[in-house]
Amino acid sequence: MHAFVVDAFTDRPFAGNPAAVCLGTAASGDHLGDERWMQQVAAEFNLAETAFLAGGPGAYDLRWFTPQVEVDLCGHATLAAAHVLWEIGESADVLQFRTRSGVLTAQRTAGGIALGLPADAATPVTEGTAPLLAALGLAADRPVYRGRDDYLVEVADAAAVRAVRPDFAALREIPTRGVIVTASEGAAAEDAEFVSRFFGPAVGIDEDPVTGSAHCLLGPFWAARLGRTTLRAVQLSARGGRLEVEVGPQTVRLTGAAVTVLRGQLARHS
């Protein structure tokens, strides 16, 4: 099985969000049915996400694993997977990925790779937010919202996003895939309309460098607030990353670049 490490949502190596991509072939008999083996491989890579691909041309089965669990949706590893496929010779200009979140698409554009992911809606949470906000070190009156998989917490400005220092042990006890902290005020200094950070200790990722799937929630949230459907986003992690976000009624289109930093062969042990 071919294996790659790709930095996603960046145009330079050692930035953005690294993902491993494992590509099976019909001739070798590789398939995506051995969850235990895939989980072990993801733990071995120890990156935020490892993507497993099989099928083609043009349409592929795709699954994503953190070092601890399988997840329903991952944007940056999907971007990495599409990047690898085109780099090794896939001819289709639009790719389809069959996933646990339905059929996702990737398209080559002048600005990079555009992903079509399912839009999410933020619902205000009015009770029981004290443990979450305390784990983030934030005041108890900060507005909290809930999407399909994640909490979203709005803070005053970009400086406040940078300043968050979570108690990861406490955050791990919150029943959620992850927690997004976000702001629009001060984002212009980053050449963006909004900024964010993402914490997911419950799934083995204390802080994710760039989280495509979180923008399925962030995009519609800020589109409604700012009255525009096309936005620039920056994730303020140590590595940093940049996304172009286009919000539709049911789909969020995320555009970004990717860079391959490693190629190899993954040994299959029984």
Tens digits of pLDDT across the chain (270 residues): 899 999 999 999 999 999 999 998 544 446 677 899 999 999 999 999 999 999 999 999 999 999 999 999 999 999 999 999 999 999 999 999 999 999 999 999 988 999 999 999 999 999 999 999 999 999 999 999 999 999 999 999 999 999 999 999 999 999 999 999 999 999 999 999 999 999 999 999 999 999 999 999 999 999 999 999 999 999 999 999 999 999 999 999 999 999 999 999 988 765
Task: Report how far apart the first and last C-alpha atoms of the chain are (Å, whole number).
Answer: 14
User: Is 123-247 the same fold as 2-117+255-265?
Assistant: yes
Q: For residue 86, which amino acid is it?
A: W
Match 């590893």 to its residue by tokens.
Answer: 77
pLDDT score at 28: 47
With CA atoms as reference, report the closest residue to 241 among 263, 268, 208, 264.
208
**C-alpha separations of 49 from 75, 237, 257 in Å:** 10, 16, 17
Pick the CATH number of 2-117+255-265 from 3.40.50.970, 3.40.309.10, 3.10.310.10, 3.40.50.300: 3.10.310.10
- R_g of the chain, CA atoms, integer Å: 18
* Residue-wise pLDDT tens digits, 54-78: 999 999 999 999 999 999 999 999 9
CATH 3.60.21.10 fits 123-247, yes or no: no
pTM of the model: 0.90
For the chain, what are the domain ranges?
A: 2-117+255-265, 123-247
Angstrom distance (rounded) from CA 233 to CA 211: 11
Omega cis (within 30) before 57: yes
Q: 68: how many CB neighbours lie within 10 A of its CB?
A: 15
Provide the annotated active-site residues. 49
Residue 117: Cβ within 10 Å count: 24
Element housing 38 (H / E) = helix 35-45
